[in-house]
Structure 1
Amino acid sequence: MISGLRHPTLKDKMRVGTAIEPGPLPDNLDQHRDLPRYGQVQSSVREAALRLAQAAMTPEAFQKFSDTLPQRAIIGDNRNDENLVVAQFHLSFLRFHNKAIDYLASHDTGWIADFSSAQALTRLHYQWLIVDGYLKGVCDPVVVDRVVNDRASHFFKFRAEFDARRQNTRLGNALPLEFFAAAYRFGHSMVRAFYDYNKNFGRPGTGFLPRATLRLLFEFTGGGGRLDDEKKLPKNWIIDWARFTGVDPHDGSDGEPARLARKIDTELAPPLHMMFKEGEDQGDQQLKALFKSLARRNLRRGYNLRLPTGQALHKHLKQIGAVESSPIQDVSALFATKPDLQNFLAGTATRFHERTPLWFYIHAEAEAAGGNRLGEVGSCLVALTLVGVLLADPDSALSRGFTPDQSPLKMPDNAPIDSIAKWMQFAAVMQ
């Protein structure tokens, strides 16, 4: 399996896939910008994958796995090949690693141009971007700085208390349910129904389609059913990262999608109300409707996991000094311009306006503050968890105090790789 992940001859590099016709490419870069797939590797790798799958799957699931194996990506977690934007982002890691090898081999940095060096530098740069490039964008930067300066003390207190209750009975390190079942699902409200994806499926509108639908971005993946014939990504579906990283912004004034994520608020893109890949194996129509609605799935998950209400958690976080604001006692009061939503919340028998599901509460808090980033509770949960996980690793960028100007890797003008745009440019997936 490892031999399938690595380049077939350059053993320090990662294997990548090559996109095929039809074109054109969205830029003047190369066509080696697909994830590696089982169809391109030696038979021993495919046979190993089939043996592992057969031992862990039902006969029906294994048959489906076997039938779709050639187009499946050879990556650690196939959820990263569920939609094309995430798949292309995963590819940037493979390319960054490989470009790090090339850079170290051609520059006198004192670093050995081998797998371990490239792996370490790829991790350090990305982990730095998590805090300074990502968290300070989607969270309140004041909260992020507070968490970093406090060394995520509330997160480690949570872990210590959890370990004391569950001595010798847990598997791995604990993460808060409130984080992964509620707070870190804020991205669902940022998803668009359509994307200005590249010149073939976006502006100027003279390519194949004037926009890329969310459904198409799911279909042109290993499990989406559109990688026919050679089981590889067509060149015309390679992403144009300049449209997603702010390098080439557009406000959407021409009626086509803006090149920005949607705001963090209480509304989801229409395709997430009826997800086309989910629930198809459900015979019961009510269950099918539940599985297809992302909002209902999130709310049901929070209920089944017995998450606290937004007000209860907000009160607790303030009591322990993790946040400074007070709970929103009546969430419906935030929606004066949305009377239907306001009336629904206040009119429920379960009093959702005063006992608000945590997932919805976090989105409402962000919407009330303008929607450009999470509110204090959401920021606290997300920053505490991600910063805490980084600090729990003594080799992480945050634990080591790594900054991009310390790295041997540089841009062509010798500038540090200190933004997601520069990450993409260094990986040669964006001009």
Structure 2
Amino acid sequence: MTTPPASEPPPPGTPASAPAAAHGANPPRGIENVPRSSTETGKFGRLFRGLTPLVLDDAQIQNVVATMVDPGDPAAPGGWSPTPTPTDGGIAAGWTYLAQFIDHDITFDPSSLLDQANDPDALENFRTPRFDLDSVYGLGPTANPWLYDSNDPDKLLLGVNPPEFAQRDLNRNHQGRALIGDPRNDVHIIIAQLHLAFVMFHNAVVDLVRARPELVSGVPATPVGGWGSTGPTVPDRPTFGQIVTLVRWHYQWLVLRGFLPTICGTDVVDAVLQVKKDKLDAVLKLYSVRRKPWMPVEFSGAAYRFGHSLVRDAYLLNGPLGPRPVFSSAGDSDPLADLRGFRRLPSGWEIEWHRFFDDLPGSGPDTQRARLFDTRIASALHTLPASVDHMRRSLATLNLKRGVALELPSGEDFAAAVAGKLRVDPSSVQIQTGLPHAAPLWFWFLKEAEVTRGGQTLGPVGGRVVAEVLVGLAQNDPSSFLKARPDWTPTLGATPGEFTMADLFTIANVTL
């Protein structure tokens, strides 16, 4: 049996009183007991189950961490600058947090305490990972009625804050905790407002479909968490299930046709998701599904942790409000000192989304960039607050310890195995890491991005892993457009057949 992984901290913004459901506070059950005999017997598995695990002692881990410290840029004290700095990448800062939102969507675990008692290793009885927005919809209006507006049950419920707080916020209880499908989407201010944008987008689509029922013509009514109907629909009477499907398909388009090319590179995605006779076709060589979708630990424990390298020390939410750090020493006692979440949105903290995404009316010089895909991690993540990690360790330390606990192979061995699967020259995927020993897989993916792509996207191997797993999840979801209607194209965007984050924010009518 493998050693249980080190506890991983939540994303930026988790206060001391954050609930256990916060991202990383309790790793998903079963991830520490990943079978090597099969890749398809549970929620987690391995792309290459025969590779030798990389074993590193604490001293070696700390030596790697020492190479990952970003000394900071004198032109951008605190991590934010109104002008470009050497640490800036090419992609807008908002993609960092859409990546986190997607992660929460595909790893949602609503298991009860009874399930934990009966299923300690979680190798069988988990819901399969899908891009179905269950982090937003929960289990539907019947099972989770508190997520929905009782006066109009097709719509999700918005928050009503006291006048001293922002008036557009997630629905919250009297202690300020968000009542949403996945509590991890409240761990910091940015992802909480991104979740709010998806809620408002759904509600806006309800109104659009009621005004134009033809928008759901031919769109199936898929169930939400066991609620809903897949039976025949009545003409000119759109159902909740049809509306949800329309929202989900546009979200899935964002993931497959917007997010993946941005993160993995267009060339990598074009090899995995091809257009054939006006239909999208998945071409998967690393990730295969025979029974039900599963999560490779090489993805969850290494490749998809690219987002930690993109996080900035601080962000500007809007023009009047000054930059706020993701963490600060005063944050435990002063709720206005940093971006931690699990609280009502302070007045004046509404995000102007053109500062986080391109292609909005105000996008341009004010649009903040994500940091480079590289092995340097923002200083705020190297000494975590005690409320996030009581030992105040570096996020890099926790990631590397987790990789050892998961028995992940070295980056060099993994790349060679990928080369074999893709039938390319193994030397074409090898890189110099600068380490005196084989590289941890997470570190290797970041170094590959730095060396082969100049830090602008993931590298060919890391990008291929991320693209194949996300495309594979969609391909094996019977309710996804990629499986049910591979010739489908978006109907809600400003440009026919396209749909972008700018479209989502515009339709949601959030602050642009």
With the length of structure 1 as denominator, give the TM-score of the two structures: 0.71
Q: 1:328 aligns with which of 406, 420, 430?
A: 430
Per the alignment, residue 151 of structure 1 pairs with 282
Question: Secondary structure, in 3 states, of the residue corresponding to 1:13?
Answer: strand
Question: Secondary structure, in 3 states, of the residue corresponding to 1:71?
Answer: coil
- Whether the 8 Å CA contact 1:323–1:377 is kept in 2: the answer is no
Superimposed CA distance per residue, residues 266-300 of structure 1 (whole angstroms, 9 cap, x where no aligned partner): 111111112223223xxxxxxx14xx311000000
Superimposed CA distance per residue, residues 189-218 of structure 1 (whole angstroms, 9 cap, x where no aligned partner): 1101111211232xxxxxxxx212112799
Per the alignment, residue 7 of structure 1 pairs with 149
What does 1:119-134 align with in structure 2 at a 5 Å threshold? 119-134=244-259
Q: 1:299 aligns with which of 376, 379, 400?
A: 400
Q: 1:273 aligns with which of 370, 378, 382?
A: 382
Q: 1:377 aligns with which of 454, 461, 465?
A: 461
Q: 1:173 to 1:298 in 2, by over 3 A?
A: same
Separation in 2 of the partners of 1:136 and 1:328? Answer: 23
State the identity as a percent.
34
- Whether the 8 Å CA contact 2:375–2:443 is kept in 1: the answer is yes
Per the alignment, residue 192 of structure 2 pairs with 87
Matched, 1:401 2:486: yes
Matched, 1:427 2:508: yes
Superimposed CA distance per residue, residues 212-258 of structure 1 (whole angstroms, 9 cap, x where no aligned partner): 2112799579x95784xxxx323311211111111334557xxxxx6
Question: Secondary structure, in 3 states, of the residue corresponding to 1:295?
Answer: helix
Aligned residue identity for 1:212: R
Q: Which has the higher strand share?
A: 2
- Whether the 8 Å CA contact 2:186–2:342 is kept in 1: the answer is no
Separation in 2 of the partners of 1:329 and 1:385? Answer: 23
Separation in 1 of the partners of 2:498 and 2:195? Answer: 18
Q: CA deviation at 1:152?
A: 3.9
- Whether the 8 Å CA contact 1:21–1:234 is kept in 2: the answer is no
What does 1:12-27 align with in structure 2 at a 5 Å threshold? 12-22=154-164
- Whether the 8 Å CA contact 1:184–1:382 is kept in 2: the answer is yes
Superimposed CA distance per residue, residues 159-211 of structure 1 (whole angstroms, 9 cap, x where no aligned partner): 44xx7xxxxxxxx742111000000000101101111211232xxxxxxxx21
Q: 1:113 to 1:79 in 2, by over 3 A?
A: same
Separation in 2 of the partners of 1:383 and 1:226? Answer: 32
- Whether the 8 Å CA contact 1:185–1:359 is kept in 2: the answer is yes
Per the alignment, residue 418 of structure 1 pairs with 499
Which structure has the larger Rg over C-alpha atoms? 1
Q: 2:173 aligns with which of 28, 38, 44?
A: 38
Q: CA deviation at 1:19?
A: 4.8
Q: CA deviation at 1:16?
A: 1.3
Matched, 1:240 2:332: no
Question: Secondary structure, in 3 states, of the residue corresponding to 2:153?
Answer: coil
Separation in 2 of the partners of 1:249 and 1:373? Answer: 21
Unpaired runs of 5+ residues, structure 1, are 26-30, 40-69, 164-171, 202-209, 253-257, 281-287, 333-344
Aligned residue identity for 1:388: G
**What is the RMSD of the two structures over their aligned residues, measured on CA atoms?**
2.7
Separation in 2 of the partners of 1:237 and 1:189? Answer: 25
- Whether the 8 Å CA contact 2:287–2:468 is kept in 1: the answer is no
Separation in 1 of the partners of 2:347 and 2:462? Answer: 39
Q: Indicate the structure whose relative CO is greater, using CA pairs within 8 Å and at least 6 residues apart.
A: 2
- Whether the 8 Å CA contact 1:83–1:220 is kept in 2: the answer is no
Identify which range, 379-388 or 239-248, moves more after superposition. 239-248
Question: Secondary structure, in 3 states, of the residue corresponding to 2:409?
Answer: coil
Per the alignment, residue 195 of structure 1 pairs with 315
Question: Secondary structure, in 3 states, of the residue corresponding to 1:261?
Answer: strand
Separation in 2 of the partners of 1:242 and 1:186? Answer: 23
Aligned residue identity for 2:383: M
Question: Secondary structure, in 3 states, of the residue corresponding to 1:320?
Answer: helix
Aligned residue identity for 1:99: A
Per the alignment, residue 264 of structure 1 pairs with 373
Unpaired runs of 5+ residues, structure 2, are 1-142, 217-236, 275-280
Per the alignment, residue 266 of structure 2 pairs with 141
Separation in 2 of the partners of 1:322 and 1:378? Answer: 16
